[in-house]
Amino acid sequence: MPKGQPMTDFDKRILSFQNRGKTVPRPSLIKTPEQIEGIRRAGVINTGALDLVAAEIRPGMSTEDINRLVHDYTVGHGAVPAPLNYEGFPKSVCTSVNEVVCHGIPSEDEILEEGDIINVDCTTILDGYYADASRMFIVGGKTDAERERLVRVAKECLEIGWQAAKPWGFIGDIGKAIARHAHKHGYGVVRDLAGHGVGNAFHEDPEVDHYNTRKDGMLIVPGMVFTIEPMINMGTWEVFVDEEDGWTVVSEDEQPSAQWEHTFLVTETGLEVLTY
């Protein structure tokens, strides 16, 4: 609280949770209207890049072709692809095929085949503001019934997490709801990677776990911006990181995995998607 300013009802409400031992957001995690507008504009470009991938993706394409599409689109709109050089990541987008959970590195040698399922994860920086989203694509439009169900249920998990998150509720509500749905289908929920606050940086607090941590987690307050991005495995929830490249996250049993992600703004009534 800046000195000399009266405490608003909003501040008092947050303090009342803090006094009951709950984790509450630092003031910097509550975005100003100007910051929200900036993140919203980054989101429009991010959505445009994913829409372009949706229009162009087909069997015979390499994942490097997808990288080029996203890179050129983003730069062409005056923005920067956040993955490029992020902690040493070498490309402008993550492309995660079949048993790859996330952080797949695009390659000229990786050719998409009909029936592959792929997650394309784009993050755009515009005027210093970040928006982050990913979608699944079924290459050629058709795959086997099991992978089709995995892709559908993973999307339902994102929607269920979204509905579970309420202003003045808790981040922990999200993972509880997602895990219940995934487990109903016999799927594993990845624990090693989480959603995250976003907007002024790529990864901010809070950590948004997608499994049931049995903890409340941070209080959800209007003005917060964070992602929900459940990674749902057909088999075990466990994963490993490829030793060669240090990035590619793969399901431990090498069964398929699916993920969908949006960036959300917390409003007085619920979550608004900033990446449609």
Catalog residues that contact ligand MF3 under the rule CB under 6 A.
83, 86-87, 89, 94, 103, 121, 123, 132, 229, 261
Minimum CB–partner distance for residue 158 and ligand MF3 (Å):
12
Handedness of CA 198, 270, 1, 17 (dihedral sign): negative
- Answer with the entry of ligand MF3, Co ion, none that 96 interacts with (C-beta below 5 to 8 A by kind): none
Q: Which is nearer to ligand MF3, 132 or 209 (CB)?
A: 132
Minimum CB–partner distance for residue 210 and ligand MF3 (Å):
12
Minimum CB–partner distance for residue 242 and ligand MF3 (Å):
12
Q: Which is nearer to ligand MF3, 1 or 54 (CB)?
A: 54
Piece of the chain touching Co ion by CB under 5 A; list 12-20, 25-33, 209-217, 259-267: 259-267
Tell me which of 143, 227, 233, 257 binds Co ion, using CB under 5 A: 227
CB burial of 28-49 (b: ≥16 within 10 Å; e: otherwise) equals: ebbbeeebbebbbbbbbbbbbb
Q: Which is nearer to ligand MF3, 110 or 229 (CB)?
A: 229
Q: Which residue is nearest to ligand MF3 (CB)?
A: 83
What 3 state SS string does the chain have? CCCCCCCCHHHHHHHHHHHCCCCCCCHHHCCCHHHHHHHHHHHHHHHHHHHHHHHHCCCCCEHHHHHHHHHHHHHHCCCEECCCCHHHCCCCCEEEECCEEECCCCCCCCECCCCCEEEEEEEEEECCEEEEEEEEEEHHHCCCHHHHHHHHHHHHHHHHHHHHCCCCCECHHHHHHHHHHHHHCCCEECCCCCEEECCCCCCEEEEECCCCCCCCCCECCCCCEEEECCEEECCCCCEEECCCCCCCEEECCCCCEEECEEEEEECCCCEEECCC
Minimum CB–partner distance for residue 7 and ligand MF3 (Å):
35
98 binding Co ion? (CB under 5 A): no
Tell me which of 110, 116, 121, 204 binds Co ion, using CB under 5 A: 121
Q: Which is nearer to ligand MF3, 93 or 139 (CB)?
A: 93
Q: Which is nearer to ligand MF3, 104 or 217 (CB)?
A: 104
Minimum CB–partner distance for residue 155 and ligand MF3 (Å):
16
Piece of the chain touching Co ion by CB under 5 A; list 68-76, 140-148, 162-170, 257-265: 257-265
Which tokens in the block code for residue 224?
Answer: 């917060």
Site string for Co ion, 123-162 (x = CB under 5 A): ---------x-x----------------------------
